[in-house]
């Protein structure tokens, strides 16, 4: 698994072909969610754009009217930062400046939030136990793959964050 480290003012990791494919797929799914499939009734959209005033629907709607377009554009741009930095259809080095690293962190967080909703992961969920249970039930299931991707994104996010603060 790739791990970020600081090198001459950049944040660098070398990704295997499969990691590039997974990251490209995840980033494209976030972009698709925010463009083609944007629907406030979708729980994932609700998690990425929570109600600012939960007890005041008109106030939340008014706030969204002024802020949602910019927030959506920023989230799309952050996912785009992942896509722009990845090697083309092969493994290889990713070298991020501080701005791109921050965009990656936010995009990885959005992807994990979205996956967490879809996978019904709650605060306090033991991911290792969840994955073990899924493997025991059906090792080849899409849930095992999705939980593995979710865990990988967390690992990658932590690796980049540690490189930023070192």
DSSP string, 75-100: HHHHHHHHHHHSPSSS-EEEEE-HHH
pLDDT in tens, the chain (166 residues): 679 999 999 999 999 999 999 999 999 999 999 998 678 889 999 899 888 888 998 998 899 889 999 999 999 999 999 999 999 878 899 999 999 999 999 999 999 999 999 999 988 888 888 888 888 888 888 989 999 999 999 999 999 999 999 8
Question: Which residues constitute the domain of residue 116?
Answer: 5-165
Torsion of CA 128, 130, 134, 135, to 10 degrees: 10
Residues 15, 4: Cα–Cα separation, whole Å: 10
Model pTM? 0.89
Q: How many domains does the chain have?
A: 1
Within 8 A by CB and 6+ apart from 115, the residues are 26, 121, 146, 149, 150, 153
């Amino acid at each position: 698994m790739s791990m970020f480290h600081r090198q001459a003012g950049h944040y660098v990791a070398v990704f295997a072909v499969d990691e590039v494919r997974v990251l490209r797929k995840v980033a494209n799914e976030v972009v698709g969610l925010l463009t083609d499939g944007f629907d406030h009734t979708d729980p994932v959209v609700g998690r990425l754009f929570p109600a600012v005033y939960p007890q005041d629907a008109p106030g939340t709607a008014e706030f969204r009217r002024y802020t949602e377009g910019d927030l959506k554009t920023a989230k799309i741009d952050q996912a785009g930062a992942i896509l722009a930095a990845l090697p083309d259809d092969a493994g290889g080095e990713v070298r991020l400046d501080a701005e791109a690293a921050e965009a990656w962190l936010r995009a990885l967080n959005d992807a994990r939030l979205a996956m967490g909703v879809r996978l019904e992961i709650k605060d306090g969920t033991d991911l290792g136990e969840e994955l073990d249970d899924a493997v025991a039930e059906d090792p080849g299931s899409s849930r095992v793959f999705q939980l593995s991707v979710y865990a990988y994104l967390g690992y990658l996010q932590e690796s980049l964050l540690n490189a930023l603060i070192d």
